[in-house]
Amino acid sequence: MTLSLGFIGIVTRDMTASLAFYRALGVDIADGQDASPHVDASLPGGVALAWDTVETIRSFDPSFVPAEGGHRIALAFEQASPAEVDAAVAALAAAGHPAHVAPFDAPWGQRYATVLDPDGNSIDLYAALPSR
């Protein structure tokens, strides 16, 4: 069996807030969908992000309970440079989403930072550090 990742699904309590966060992150999400129960957006490379409201998930899985506490999965978005990691974190902070883990030079050779989306999902931003 060959696996092909088609989309990453995000369950959200607040579609408007979630879409605003991902738009601030740079995801190209069509306007006029903030009240939709399901939204898709294509990322470069062909994988899509999809959002469903808790109510949408419960429409076919009535026992669904959103996770609480720490994140269960992290989405990591590569940036073109360490400076772009810092700029992306600053732009998200200006939009009301402060860093959960401030940008730092990781021992594995990347500039790395984490921001939480409105539903508490871990969004990592990273870029390779210049060779020394």
Domain holding 99: CATH number?
3.10.180.10
Q: Residue 79: what pLDDT?
A: 95
Structurally, the chain folds into a number of domains equal to 2
- 102: containing domain: 74-128
pLDDT, tens digit (0-9, with 9 covering 90-100), for 47-56: 999 999 999 9
Statement: the pTM of the whole predicted model exceeds 0.85: yes
Q: How confident is the model at residue 132, as a pLDDT? A: 65
Please give the Cα distance from 102 to 111 (Å, whole number): 10
Q: Report the first-to-last Cα separation within the chain, whole angstroms.
A: 42
Residue 45 has pLDDT above 90, yes or no: no
Residue 1 lies in a domain: no
